[in-house]
């Protein structure tokens, strides 16, 4: 049992697997099927390469594979549902036959989620926490799958770009950073419940980098444990984020050590799932951090 949370949330079934919160940290591997990923790892034109990457990430210890067909970097252009489906469906269909880990569809569109779930996905990762498409909650409830609700205040007017670092946000103000995030996530959790999504199938994410400045992202990681008030499992995605680049003055491909430090702190502060690009390295970071903070 996780000593940081005497009574962890009830286990969550995802696909054919049962995720028992508090026992260990789970690792979600990222598969970007996009041409404009902030991290430079997009594979939009090669389903075969994306499937090969998924196989590799699963072999390296990923517990979930998160497939996304639309970049969410600051300033990225929206992608029509038809194009998003063209990118993700072949990858999900093949991965569902190739790996024995659950597949997540990273989308905020009901039309994309519906077909991705039919193709083999068993989890929806919504970066707008059910606020972008009112039909998404219905699709998730009808499918009976879990959902990740991510806090998001992104807006193009706050987007900035620094040479060598990439897109990030600046000038965003909160009345009370963690209280505001918790309140808005709680509202999304209630939206999910009203739509018929079972409580044990709801996971929350503070949305590092989504409508937050460098300083706010650092504070969120340090105060992550305050999200435990929602009584839901916590996913956090610090991997290669611009905050790391701004702190260390490094481009995305050189942020593995910064990501490792962020992952370790997030686990120590209460993360249940970490969403990462560098699965092999972060699995080891998670195991070591768990050995320290999850002692019986």
- Active site residues per annotation: 241, 275
**Burial readout 199-220 (b: 16 or more C-beta within 10 A, e: otherwise):** ebbbbbbbbbbbbbbbebbbeb
- Assigned token pair, 237: 């995605």
Distance CA 170, CA 211 (A): 8
Non-local (6+) Cβ contacts of 198 within 8 A are none
Distance CA 257, CA 245 (A): 11
**Dihedrals phi, psi of 94, to nearest 5 degrees:** -75, -40
- Assigned token pair, 83: 């194009």
The helix (run of H) or strand (run of E) holding residue 145 is none
Helix (H, G, I), strand (E, B) or coil at 206: coil
Distance CA 145, CA 137 (A): 10
**Dihedrals phi, psi of 195, to nearest 5 degrees:** -80, -10
Asked if 237 and 224 touch (Cβ cutoff 8 Å), the reply is no
- Assigned token pair, 131: 């606020």
Distance CA 44, CA 9 (A): 36
Handedness of CA 82, 88, 92, 95 (dihedral sign): positive
DSSP state of 226: G
């Amino acid at each position: 049992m996780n000593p940081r949370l005497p009574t962890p949330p009830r286990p969550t079934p995802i696909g054919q697997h049962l995720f028992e919160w508090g026992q260990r940290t789970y690792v979600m591997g990222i598969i970007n099927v996009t041409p404009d990923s902030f991290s430079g790892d997009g594979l939009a034109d090669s389903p075969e390469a994306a499937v090969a990457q998924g196989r590799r990430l699963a072999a390296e210890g990923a517990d979930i594979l998160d497939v996304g067909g639309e970049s969410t970097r600051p300033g990225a252009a929206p992608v029509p549902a038809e194009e998003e489906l063209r990118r993700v469906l072949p990858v999900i269909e093949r991965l569902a036959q190739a790996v024995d880990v659950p597949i997540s569809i990273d989308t905020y569109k009901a039309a994309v989620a519906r077909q991705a779930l039919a193709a083999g996905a068993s989890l929806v990762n919504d970066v707008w926490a059910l606020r972008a498409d009112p039909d998404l909650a219905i699709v998730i409830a009808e499918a009976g799958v879990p959902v990740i609700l991510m806090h998001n205040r992104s807006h193009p007017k706050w987007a900035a770009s620094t040479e060598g670092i990439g897109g990030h946000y600046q000038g965003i103000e909160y009345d009370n950073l963690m209280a505001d995030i918790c309140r808005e996530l709680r509202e999304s959790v209630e939206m999910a419940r009203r739509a018929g999504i079972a409580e044990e199938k709801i996971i929350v994410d503070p949305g590092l980098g989504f409508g937050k400045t460098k300083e706010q992202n650092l504070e969120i990681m340090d105060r992550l444990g305050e999200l435990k008030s929602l009584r839901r499992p916590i996913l956090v995605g610090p991997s290669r984020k611009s905050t790391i680049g701004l702190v260390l003055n490094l481009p995305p491909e050189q942020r593995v050590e910064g990501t490792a430090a962020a992952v370790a702190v997030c686990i120590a502060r209460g993360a249940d799932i970490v969403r990462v690009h560098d699965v092999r390295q972060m699995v080891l970071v998670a195991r070591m951090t768990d050995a320290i903070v999850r002692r019986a």
